Amino acid sequence: DVPELRALIGEVAAEQLERSGSDDPRGVSAALRVCFTRLMKSEKKFFVDQLNMLVKRISQEAAEGKDTSGSNGELLLRLHSQYPGDIGCFTIYFLNLVRLEPGEAMFLGANEPHAYLHGDCVEVMACSDNTVRAGLTPKFIDVLTLCEMLNYTPAPSSSKILPATQSQLDPHVYLYDPPVPDFTIMRIEIPASIKLYLISAMDSASILLVIQGTAVGTSTAAASEMSLRRGSVLFVSANESISLHLSSPEGMLLFRACCLL
């Protein structure tokens, strides 16, 4: 549906993808790998010319009041305005567009490509020294490594959504527990009616991030009281608990990154 993208991928690779049926996931993955790799390895002048043609076409269609959603027109124009001439503008046609509402979360496994487009989020990841980028960034780009390491298994965006479950031990704690043992995130919502709250000790160390509210914290590991407010970050040692004396009328919202041993 996007002729400029098809020109970059080439007819052979495009037809291979079109022939791949949903009953053959390996064939689809192989075709996606070929298409994505051909895109990312395109000669710069060629992909810039095709990108300019795409942007011009979408801009004209939008000006005429036509529906450009089939080409992700609104997103394409926004990305191009932020990263003009960037190959990453074409990658939107290989990815799902996911809109998360407050309190929602998603989990991405190793080697899954993604890009944050707008808004703020709390992110936690396992220890890693191999974050690889290929577009939409001013940072170092390594196209060859990225194309080799990516997971090309297609999946609907709904399969990536990670629901929160309320803790059975504390009704103010909601768990985002991904299908890996490396980490878990807790959302702690303390209502304004509570003025003293205990953040319980855990077997692992954790990191506490204050999103909303103010409090004074005390713990056996701290030499003095800690003043906490929006943006405060605490390292909490294993087996350390923290008492919060709330002072804000709106309560508190905190996130805790930890490992459930």
For 25-37, how does the pLDDT look when each residue is reduced to its tens digit (9 = 90+)?
889 999 999 999 9
Domain that holds residue 179: 164-258
Are residues 212 and 156 both part of a single domain? no
Long-range contacts, 69-76 (Cβ 8 Å, 24+):
70/1, 71/1, 71/2, 72/97, 75/117
User: Model confidence over 107-144: pLDDT tens digits?
Assistant: 998 888 888 888 999 999 888 766 777 777 777 778 88
Distance CA 197, CA 242 (A): 8
Q: What is the CATH number of the domain that holds 57?
A: 1.10.441.10
Q: Active-site positions?
A: 133
Mean of per-residue pLDDT scores for the chain: 92
DSSP state of 106: B
Same domain, 8 and 126: yes
pTM of the entire predicted model? 0.83
**Average of pLDDT values for 70-78?**
94
Residues 195 and 121 in one domain: no
Distances (CA, A) of 159 to 105, 132, 163: 11, 23, 11
For residue 45, what are the contacts with CB-CB under 8 A and spacing of at least 6? none
Query: Do residues 97 and 16 both lie within one domain?
Result: yes
Q: Report the alpha-carbon distance of residue 111 to residue 96 in Å, rounded.
A: 15
